[in-house]
C-alpha cells in the first residue's frame, strides 16, 4: 500500500481526463459512468488524506520491458507489442476491455500486426478484490483459460469476491480442486506483486496503463499510454510505430 501512495498523486488527472472520453463512447452505460465517478471520488479522498495535490500532465515515458513468462495473445513474431497493466476491479479497465479491446484484437492482434501482453497493477488501496482477481486469472492460466477468465473478470469488476470467481471457474469448466488449491496457496501472489513493482518503476500513473512499441526478443521497447482511451488513439499510436519502421 505504501507503493500506492508514491504514485497516487499522479492518478487523479489521467482518470479525470479519461472520464469524458469514455462517456462520449456509446458503449458506456449510466451505471459504468457512476462507477467511474465514484472511483474519482475515492481517489480524491485518498489524496486529501495524504495532503497531496494531483500533478499536472507529464511527457510520455519511455519503457523497455522483459516479458518473459507473461501471458501473450497473438503472433510471437508480430513486429509491434502492446502491454496492458490492468486492475480487474477498475471501471476504466472494464471500459477498455468491453469497448476497445475487441476492435484492437480484430484489426491488429488477429492479423499478426500486434502481440498483446497482460500484466497486473492491482491498486489495493482502492480495490480490495483486485489482487485476488489477478491471482485467479493466473490460476485459470494453469488450465489454459487465462484469457477467458481475464475477459469475464474484466467485464465484471463488481463481482470479484471469491464466490463469483468460483462461479466463473465453474462456467469455464476448470478443475475446481486444482483451481482452489492454487488460489488458497496464493501461488501467484509474488508474481502479481512483481508486476505492480515493475509498473511503478517505469512510471505507470493509473490503470489501465499501456506500453506500446517495437517488439524485441525479450519483450518491448516503447512508450507509456495512460487511460481507457478511445480506439482511435490506440490505432493512431500503432500506425505511428508502423510508419517508423
DSSP 61-127: PEEEEE-TTSEEES-TT-SEEEEEEE-TT-HHHHHIIIIIHHHHIIIIITTTSEEEEEEE---TTT-
DSSP bridge partners of 64: 221
Residue partners of 10: CB distance under 8 A and separation at least 6: 54, 55, 58, 205, 206
Output the pLDDT for position 211: 97
pLDDT(135) > 60: yes
| HSE toward the beta carbon, residue 244, CA cutoff 13 A | 12
CATH match of 60-244 with 3.40.50.10360: no
Neighbours of 187 (CB within 10 A): 14
pLDDT at 39: 52
Tell me what pLDDT residue 49 has. Answer: 55
pTM exceeds 0.75: yes
Map out the domains of the chain as residue ranges: 60-244
Q: What is the mean pLDDT of residues 140-164?
A: 97
Q: What is the pLDDT of residues 43-78, one digit of tens each?
A: 445 545 545 444 444 555 899 999 999 999 999 999
Backbone angles phi, psi at 220, to 5 degrees: -150, 150
Query: Smallest Cα–Cα separation from 15: which of 177, 38, 164, 172?
Result: 38
* Reported confidence tier of residue 235, pLDDT bands at 50, 70, 90: very high
Least confident of 55-59, 92-96, 162-166, 225-229: 55-59
Q: CB of 212 within 8 A of CB of 232?
A: no
- The dihedral built from the CA positions of residue 187, 155, 88 and 119, taken in this order, carries a sign that is positive
Amino acid at each position: 500500500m505504501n507503493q500506492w501512495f508514491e504514485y497516487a498523486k499522479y492518478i487523479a488527472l489521467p482518470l479525470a481526463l479519461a472520464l469524458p472520453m469514455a462517456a462520449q463512447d456509446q458503449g458506456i452505460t449510466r451505471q459504468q459512468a457512476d462507477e467511474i465517478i465514484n472511483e474519482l471520488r475515492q481517489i480524491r479522498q485518498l489524496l486529501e488524506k495524504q495532503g497531496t495535490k494531483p500533478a499536472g500532465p507529464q511527457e510520455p515515458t519511455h519503457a523497455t520491458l522483459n516479458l518473459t513468462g507473461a501471458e501473450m495473445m497473438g503472433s510471437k513474431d508480430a513486429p509491434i507489442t502492446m502491454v496492458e497493466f490492468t486492475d480487474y476491479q477498475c471501471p476504466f479497465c472494464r471500459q477498455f476491455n468491453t469497448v476497445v479491446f475487441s476492435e484492437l484484437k480484430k484489426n491488429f492482434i488477429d492479423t499478426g500486426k500486434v502481440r498483446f501482453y497482460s500484466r497486473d497493477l492491482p491498486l489495493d488501496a482502492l480495490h480490495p478484490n483486485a489482487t485476488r482477481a489477478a491471482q485467479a486469472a493466473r490460476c485459470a492460466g494453469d488450465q489454459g483459460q487465462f484469457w477467458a477468465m481475464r475477459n469475464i473478470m474484466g467485464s465484471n469488476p463488481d463481482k470479484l469476491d471469491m464466490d463469483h470467481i468460483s462461479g466463473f471457474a465453474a462456467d469455464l469448466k476448470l478443475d475446481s480442486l486444482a483451481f482452489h488449491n492454487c488460489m488458497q496457496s496464493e501461488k501467484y501472489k509474488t508474481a502479481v506483486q512483481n508486476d505492480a513493482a515493475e509498473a511503478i518503476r517505469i512510471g505507470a500513473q493509473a490503470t489501465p496503463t499501456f506500453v506500446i512499441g517495437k517488439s524485441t526478443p525479450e519483450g518491448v521497447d516503447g512508450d507509456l499510454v495512460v487511460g481507457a482511451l478511445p480506439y482511435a488513439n490506440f490505432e493512431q499510436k500503432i500506425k505511428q510505430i508502423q510508419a517508423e519502421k
